[in-house]
Homo-oligomer: A and B are copies of this chain.
Amino acid sequence: MSEPLVLWDLEVAPDWVDYNGHMNDAAYALVFSRAGDRWMERIGLDAETRQASGYTLFTLQIMLHYLNEAKLGAPLRVVGRLLEFDAKRARLWMEMRSPHDGPAVAATEQLYLSVHQGETTRSAPWRDETRALLEAMARDHAALPVPPQAGRGVSLKRG
């Protein structure tokens, strides 16, 4: 059975706790951003390859869903699954679980653009290696259920 990728196991750090006594909303974005960097390693865009090839990802859009509080020291696990991709964009879903095998305390949907930074910085089709890895990942993740919140906008209406 296919499973989401385990991207990062960590704990809520003291710097991330705000005046509400829980992890600040911006800290969730930080954790998901760092987890996204780890996902890049899974698609052939680790730091060394980025440096050598000039290929990288720019973020176009991020949705964050806050589902429960996370307190200082709480164990967190970030898992990810590819929703879809095209010639130069990819849509990634990530959940932050606490404890590691517990329920999601937050989820995010992120839209990335393949970019080449050379003499100019411009969007560019995936490198062949990245494209092959995305294809394999999409096949592996096709059996996972699509999260009900995927694609949804911000609304005062529930459900």
Chain A interface (Cβ < 8 Å from any Cβ of B): 19-21, 24-26, 28-30, 32-34, 36, 47, 50, 56, 58-66, 69, 84-86, 89, 91, 109-111, 115, 117, 121, 150-156
Contacts of A155 in B (CB 8 A): 111, 151
**In the bound complex, CA of A60 to CA of B152 (Å):** 13
**In the bound complex, CA of A30 to CA of B30 (Å):** 8
**In the bound complex, CA of A49 to CA of B158 (Å):** 29
Closest to A34 in B: B26
SS of A interface (majority): mixed
**In the bound complex, CA of A52 to CA of B58 (Å):** 43
Closest to A65 in B: B61
Contact of A19 among B20, B50, B115 (CB under 8 A): B50
A63 touches B26 (CB 8 A): no
**In the bound complex, CA of A121 to CA of B68 (Å):** 12
Contacts of A58 in B (CB 8 A): 20, 66, 69
Closest to A90 in B: B156
- Given A26-B30, A29-B29, are A154 and B66 also a contact pair (CB < 8 Å)? no
A66 touches B56 (CB 8 A): no
Q: For the A-B complex with A26-B32, A61-B63, A111-B155 known, give 9 more contacts whose Cβ atoms are closer than 8 Å.
A: A19-B56, A21-B117, A26-B29, A30-B30, A63-B153, A63-B154, A85-B156, A150-B154, A151-B153
